[in-house]
Amino acid sequence: MIIHIGDNIALLESDIVAILDIDTVLESEDNYNLIQNLIKKDCLVNYTNDNIKSYIITSDTSKGNYKGRLNSYKLYTSNISSTSLLKRIYTKE
Cα–Cα distance measured from residue 19 to residue 6, given in angstroms and rounded to the nearest whole number: 14
Estimate to the nearest angstrom the gap between the alpha carbon of 53 and the chain centroid.
11
pTM: 0.84
Q: What is the pLDDT of residue 25?
A: 95
Those residues whose C-beta lies under 8 Å from the C-beta of residue 59, and which sit 6 or more positions away, are 15, 17, 65, 67, 72, 73, 74
Average pLDDT across the chain, whole number: 87
Radius of gyration of the chain (CA): 13
Name the residue among 7, 11, 84, 17 with its Cα closest to residue 49.
7
| Domains in the chain: boundaries | 2-90
Residue 64 — pLDDT band, cuts 50, 70, 90? low
Please report which confidence band the pLDDT of residue 67 belongs to, taking 50, 70 and 90 as the band edges: low
pLDDT per position as a tens digit, 31-46: 999 999 999 999 999 8
Kindly state the average pLDDT of the residues 66-80: 77
